[in-house]
Amino acid sequence: MKEALFYEKLENEEVHCFLCGHQCRIKPGNRGKCGVRQNNGGILYSLVYGRLIAQHVDPIEKKPLYHFQPGTRSFSIATVGCNFRCLFCQNADISQTPRETGVIMGSEVSPENTVQQALQTQSSSIAYTYTEPTIFMEYALDVAKLAHQQGMRNVFVSNGFMSREALETISPYLDAANVDLKAFTDDFYKNQCGARIKPVLRTLKSMKELGIWLEVTTLVIPGLNDDPGELRALADFVFSLGPETPWHVSRFHPTYRLTDRPITPVETLRRAREIGLDAGLWYVYTGNVPGDEGENTYCHRCHALLLERFGFSTRRRGLEKAACTQCGANLAGVEIG
């Protein structure tokens, strides 16, 4: 165990954890809502520091990040735990285990060893992903600092429920993030995720202000968040972050505790994509539909094909360095050329 950051001591050995939007007050012997931060005698500890449950090399497009070092590999890591309890979680076997069973799984891996493995795999970045990176922030912070020293980039795949204090601490070392904006109603967040929407919206705005490259993903679930009016409101919010902000609308498959909903029709995703484009967004993508036209990147000015994708593979088409060969418009992103 390692003493946690982002907490303060209260009376009677109680602690206040301000790592994320839950702002847990934790009594001695208890854990926070994430299940991986425990109060032992008035000191808050991270139970997952350096205890990795997953280490893989992924295409950066799998995060999904389409405008950040396209075509490169990202060394992807995770511990168990999450501060959400999404009923549709595709990684529930590792994200929900601490909350449901109290068990902390994982193998001890030092920050130095993680960075060394990433270098050996010739990855261009380290991705903190699969579960919620906020809950292993202390470890992510130590790894990210070392990664930057080695010239590597750091990316979060996050639900965006972190506190401003946590975000500002990691921001000098965080180069990009894909944040799930799961819906655009507080009821959805409360009923489906056990959280609230306002901290997520605040994080998205803050990431933009701090200069972190941002892409947004919405898993479109039939009957829960696929109303065209809600999707338009969500798209308008993403547009307010900047029209260059990519929005990924992804296909839902029944899983975990949400098995009474059908797979998202492809036409629903295409309609969502059109809603985003009509709202003024330059780049809107359909996800989990390999071969769909919505996987590709088109010039926001002349609509020429710039990057052609199938699944996680990417081919350059009408792109010279980071500019459209047809009209010369620059493709927004990081290290495109």
Tell me, yes or no, if the pTM score tops 0.95. yes
Hunting for tokens 């970045």 — which residue is that? 125
pLDDT confidence of residue 1? 86
pLDDT confidence of residue 337? 73
Q: How far is the C-alpha of 309 from the C-alpha of 153, rounded, in Å?
A: 23
Long-range contacts of 174-177 (CB under 8 A, 24+ apart): 174/144, 174/212, 175/68, 175/125, 175/212, 175/213, 175/334, 176/65, 176/68, 176/125, 176/212, 176/213, 176/214, 176/215, 176/334, 177/207, 177/212, 177/213, 177/214, 177/215
Long-range contacts of 263-271 (CB under 8 A, 24+ apart): 264/220, 264/221, 264/222, 264/226, 265/222, 266/292, 268/220, 268/222, 268/226, 269/220, 269/294, 270/294, 271/228
Count CA atoms within 13 Å of residue 285 on its CB side: 30
Hunting for tokens 């994320």 — which residue is that? 20
**DSSP code for 61:** G
| 130-181 pLDDT tens trace | 999 999 999 999 999 999 999 999 999 999 999 999 999 999 999 999 999 9
Q: Read off the amino acid at residue 112.
A: E
Residues 6+ apart with CB under 8 A from 295: 285, 286, 287, 289, 309, 310, 311
51-295: CATH architecture:
Alpha-Beta Barrel (3.20)
Instruction: Check: CB of residue 5 under 8 Å from CB of residue 49.
Output: no
Q: Write out 252-308 in H/E/C secondary structure.
A: CCCECCECCCCCCCHHHHHHHHHHHHHCCCCCEEEECCCCCHHHCEECCCCCCEEEE
Instruction: Check: CB of residue 66 under 8 Å from CB of residue 42.
Output: no
In the chain, % of residues over pLDDT 90: 99
Averaged pLDDT, 294-315? 96
Q: How far is the C-alpha of 79 from the C-alpha of 47, rounded, in Å?
A: 10
pLDDT confidence of residue 82? 98
Domain definitions of the chain by residue range = 2-46, 51-295
| 25-49 pLDDT tens trace | 999 999 999 999 999 999 999 999 9
